[in-house]
Amino acid sequence: MGIEAVKKIRIIAHHSVEKNLIDYLQSLGSMHLTRVASETPERELLPTEIDKRLEEGLQRLRLVIQFLTPYEEKAKGLSAIFGNRIIIPPEDYENFDKEEELNGVIEQAQSLEQQIHQAEAMLSNLENEVAFLRPWSQLDEPPDTLDSFYRVKVMTGVLPAEDLDAILSQIGGETPLAHVDVLHATKREAYVCALVHKSAENALVDLLQKNGFEAVKLEGTLPPSEQIREKEAQMETLRETLSGYHETARRVAERLQELRVLFDIWEERLKKSRVRQQFGATERTVLIEGWVPERIIGKLRREIDNKFQLISLDEIEPDEDESPPILLKNKTLVRPFELITELYGMPHAKEFDPTPFFAPFFAIFFGLCLTDAGYGLVLLVLSVWMVRKYKILLKGSKLIWILMIGGIFTILMGGITGGWFGDMVDRLPSALNGIKDFKNAIMLFDPMKQSMIFFAIALALGFIQICFGLIIKVARDFRDGEFLDALFDPIAWLVLLNGAVLFGLSGAGILPPAFRAIGKWALIAAAAAIVFFSDREKKNPILRVVSGIYTLYGATSYLGDVLSYLRLLALGLATGVIAVVVNIIAFMVAGIPYVGWLGAVIILLGGHAFNIAINALGAFVHTTRLQYVEFFPKFFEGGGKAFKPFKREGKYTLVYEAEKG
C-alpha cells in the first residue's frame, strides 16, 4: 500500500555491451535513470553524425506526415478519439524492415507536396491574370496592335465611375479629335479605351489625368477575350493535373500508418542515443545510475548476469540531498484514484500516499453529486463497454476506472434517494408498478422533499473526512516520534471540533443533555491547549499567547471547510432537478399528435445525455477539489518527484504483446 520502496543502483558495464544494455533497460521499463555525478570523467558525447542525420530525417518525416494526414480516410466516432494509436506486436516493431522502401515513399511525398505547391501557385497566378483581363474582354483588338497606328493614339485605363458622364461630355466638348469607349463599368470604376488623333494627344492626356485617369498597360497578340479563353484552358489542365496529384497523395497516404511506425522507431533510436549523455564513463566502461523498485532488484541482477558479460550491478547510497522518486503502488480498486494524487503532485518520500485514504470518500462524493441510479448505470455500462472495446489502448487509463467505480456509487446513491433518470419511474404506466415498488423499497429519503436530510449527510461526511485527515496527521506525527506536535496540533483540533459538535448537537436536542457538559469542557480544554501551546517555540509568553489566539482563529477555516461539503447537496439536487425538467418537457411534447412521441424520445435522449455529461464533469471536478482544498491540507505536504521509468513511449504506436494462450 502507498509508496513503493525504491533503491538506487549502479550498473557498470563494458562499452561493448552498452547498446544491448540500453535495449534491455528500455524493455524492462522499470528504471528511473539519473545523471551520473560529474566526478566521474565525462565522456565526449557530442551529437554524432548519425544523430544529426536522424534528427533531419525525423523533421522531414514529421512534415510528410503532416502533409499526408488530410488525405487519409478519417476514422469515425469513438475510434477517432481512442483508435488513433497503432497497436503493433513487438516482433513486428523490432524487425521493421520497410525503412528503405519508406524512404522512397518519403521522397515521393515530398516531391508531390512541392508539385502541388507549384501547381497551386501557377493556378492562382492565372486566376489573377484572368481577373485582370476580364473587364477588357469587350476590346476586340489584340492589345499589341493598338500601338501600331500611324495617326491615332490608343489609350486604355480606368476612370472613376462617379462622374463619368461629366468627364465624357467634357472630353467631347474640348477635344473633338478624341473618342472614348466605355468597355466595362462597375460602381466605382469605368474601364475605358480612348482613341485620339496624335495632334490632340497631349490635350486629352491632360484632361484625363485631371479627372483621375489611371493608364492600364495591356499586352498580348491576342484580343483579351481570346487570352482569357486560352488561360482558362490552361487552368482547366492545371486543375486536372492537381486532382491527379491529390489522387496520388491519397494513394501515398495509405502508407501513413507505416510512416508513423517509422517515425516512432527513429525517435526511439534518437532517444536511446541521447540517453547515453546521462551515463558516466571510463576508458572501457560505462556507468549507469538510477532507481528501481526494490522488489525487482533480484530479478534484475539475475537477468543481467544471464544476458551480459563484463557487467556488475550494485546497490548504492543516494547522494545526501537526493530524495528517491515516488512510485505509487496500490491495490486494484484504489489504483485508479492515483490519477488524482498524480494531478496534485506526488507525496514526498517521508509521508503516506494519500490515495487509499481519499479513494472511498471520492467514490461516495462522486455518487452523491449525481445521485441518479439511471445515470450511474449509464456511466457503468459506458465505461465497461469502452474498457472491453479498447482493451489495449485503455490499459493504463485510470480515468475510465474512476468513472466505472463512480458509476457504481452513483447507482447506490441514486438508489437510496430514489432517482432513476429523474422521476422517470413515477411516470411509468401502472402495468410496471413492480419497478416502482422496487424503487420505493430501497429508497431512504427524497432529497427534493427532505433536503435537510441531504444537508445533514453532506455536512456529516465533510466533518468525518476532515477529522479523518487530522487523524492521519496524528498517525504520521506518532510514527515520526513527534508526540508533542501531535498533541497540540491535530489532537487538540480533533478534541475541539468534536467537542463543539457534541455541544451543538445536545444543545439542539439531538443528543442527550449530558453530552453538553462533556462537549463544553472538551472545547474549553482544547482551545486552551491551542492558545498556550500551539506556538511552543516562542519564549516570550505574551507573544506566544497572541500567536496561539491567532491559531485558534483558524477554527473559522474548519467551519468553512465543512460548509464547503454542502456543494455535494447543491450538485446532487441540480442533477435531479434537471433530470425532472427534461422529463416534464419530454412528456409535454409527447402530447403533440402524431409526431409527439418522436420529439419526446429525442428530448429524453438528448436531455439526459447532456445532463449526464455536464454533471459528471461537475461531480469529478468538485469531488477532486474537495480532496485538494479541504482534505489534503490537513495532513499532506506533497512535493515529491514522480518515478519516470526509461521505457518505450511512441507518439503514434503502442507496442503490445498479445497475451499468450
CA angle at 531 for the pair 526 and 533, rounded to the nearest 5°: 85
The helix/strand/coil state of 155 is: strand
Q: Which three cell numbers mark 40?
A: 566521474
Which one, 350 or 625, has the nearer CB to another protein? 625
Which one, 11 or 68, has the nearer CB to another protein? 68
Which one, 338 or 477, has the nearer CB to another protein? 338
* Residues 408/376, Cβ–Cβ less than 8 Å: yes
What single-letter DSSP state applies at residue 449? T
Please report how close the Cβ of residue 81 comes to another protein at its closest, in angstroms.
Answer: 7
Q: Which three cell numbers mark 518?
A: 462533556
Which one, 326 or 574, has the nearer CB to another protein? 574
The helix/strand/coil state of 156 is: strand
Please report how close the Cβ of residue 625 comes to another protein at its closest, in angstroms.
Answer: 5
CA distance 364 to 370: 10
Which one, 562 or 571, has the nearer CB to another protein? 571
Return the residue matching grid coordinates 521493421: 96
Measured distance between the N- and C-terminal CA atoms of the chain, rounded to whole angstroms: 31
Please report how close the Cβ of residue 614 comes to another protein at its closest, in angstroms.
Answer: 7
Closest CA relative to residue 196, chosen from 217, 173, 180? 180
Please report how close the Cβ of residue 247 comes to another protein at its closest, in angstroms.
Answer: 25
Please report how close the Cβ of residue 649 comes to another protein at its closest, in angstroms.
Answer: 14
H/E/C letters for each residue in 176-198?
A: CCEEEEEEEECCCEEEEEEEEEH
Beta carbons within 8 Å of 382's beta carbon, 6+ residues apart: 403, 407
Which one, 360 or 618, has the nearer CB to another protein? 618
Q: Which three cell numbers mark 70?
A: 488530410
Which one, 476 or 567, has the nearer CB to another protein? 567
Closest CA relative to residue 21, chosen from 225, 306, 308, 235? 308
Please report how close the Cβ of residue 561 comes to another protein at its closest, in angstroms.
Answer: 12
Which one, 343 or 517, has the nearer CB to another protein? 343
* Residues 375/575, Cβ–Cβ less than 8 Å: yes
Residues that bind another protein (CB under 8 A): 81, 343, 451-452, 455, 564, 566-567, 569-571, 573-574, 577-578, 581, 584, 614, 617-618, 621-622, 624-625, 628-629
Q: Where are the alpha helices (DSSP H) in 40-98?
A: 49-68, 78-82, 90-94
Please report how close the Cβ of residue 73 comes to another protein at its closest, in angstroms.
Answer: 18
Please report how close the Cβ of residue 617 comes to another protein at its closest, in angstroms.
Answer: 6
